[in-house]
Amino acid sequence: MSALDEIKMFEFAGSQIRTFYIDGESWWVATDVARALGLSNSRAMVGRLRDNQKGVRLIDTLGGRQESTTVNESGLYSAILRSDSPRAIDFQIWVTDTVLPAIRKTGTYAVEQSPELQIANALVLASSMIAAKDAQIGALTPRADAWDELASASGDYEVADAAKILARAGVETGQARLFKQLAELAWIHRGAQGKWKAYQSSVDAGYLAEKPMSHYHPKSGELVLDPPQVRVTVRGLERLRVRLGTLQLVS
């Protein structure tokens, strides 16, 4: 990879986004884009793009130089437009308002557009995204009616059960994915034993609770204290529904 193709790192919602440039054109590592959009399958995202919007490039990783699928700026916008992820709009705004201006400021991205063309492209992109989100909201409205019943109980839930409740309310998640989302929201972190542990701030906010756990040693019979179990409160469920953006509510 030449100096012109040097990787530049940006951060979006706690995720590292790698970009580099070929012949003055910005390219993005597909797995990073998918992660930023909250998508678990980057192959499906790339598979919907045209051949001239994607490619393969050797990228330096912790495991050495490896082939990685990449998308150019056109492919990036196509991926955003096709995504029904709640993060899509925020990601698009971040790209256009933060990343591309930073690229142009450093002089590494030299392709210039007239103000008229920039405005036209922005209007087309905004109109397409608004139409997609309106369709999504219409499809999810019936699920909102059932939410009060789903989250009306008191107490707290295991993360697996919380994920099921959120999924029934229209949030695309599961147990493993919800743990990851909680970490991205800075509600939980890995403790000393590698187990998930709630941040005190999320407990104080009433979003999470921790249930003491223990077991008896099979040989000595002594009681052994285990890391506490992270649990999601009803208040936490409602906050997650809003933060994950599935029902497009305002927090």
Q: What is the residue-level pLDDT of the chain in tens, covering all 251 positions?
A: 443 356 788 888 888 888 887 777 788 999 999 998 888 888 888 988 889 889 998 877 666 778 889 999 888 988 888 887 778 888 888 888 778 777 666 544 334 445 554 554 555 455 545 555 555 545 444 455 445 545 455 578 899 988 888 887 778 888 999 999 999 889 999 887 788 999 999 999 889 999 887 778 787 888 777 788 899 998 888 888 877 754 333 33
Q: Which of 112, 133, 165 represents a domain boundary (last residue)?
A: 112
Nearest CA to 70 out of 108, 26, 112, 106 is that of 26
33 domain residue, yes or no: yes
pLDDT for residue 231: 93
Structural domain that includes position 158:
147-243
Let me know: does 137 contact 129? Beta carbons within 8 Å: no
The residue type found at 93 is: I
Are 152 and 108 found together in one domain?
A: no
98 domain residue, yes or no: yes
pLDDT for residue 7: 77
Are 27 and 93 found together in one domain?
A: yes
218 domain residue, yes or no: yes
Q: Which of 112, 137, 170 represents a domain boundary (last residue)?
A: 112
pLDDT for residue 136: 52
Are 83 and 158 found together in one domain?
A: no
Are 81 and 158 found together in one domain?
A: no
Are 12 and 102 found together in one domain?
A: yes
pLDDT for residue 159: 92
224 domain residue, yes or no: yes
141 domain residue, yes or no: no
129 domain residue, yes or no: no
206 domain residue, yes or no: yes
Are 108 and 11 found together in one domain?
A: yes
99 domain residue, yes or no: yes
Let me know: does 54 contact 45? Beta carbons within 8 Å: no
Are 229 and 153 found together in one domain?
A: yes
CATH number at residue 90: 3.10.260
| Domain count along the chain | 2
Q: Which of 112, 133, 167 represents a domain boundary (last residue)?
A: 112
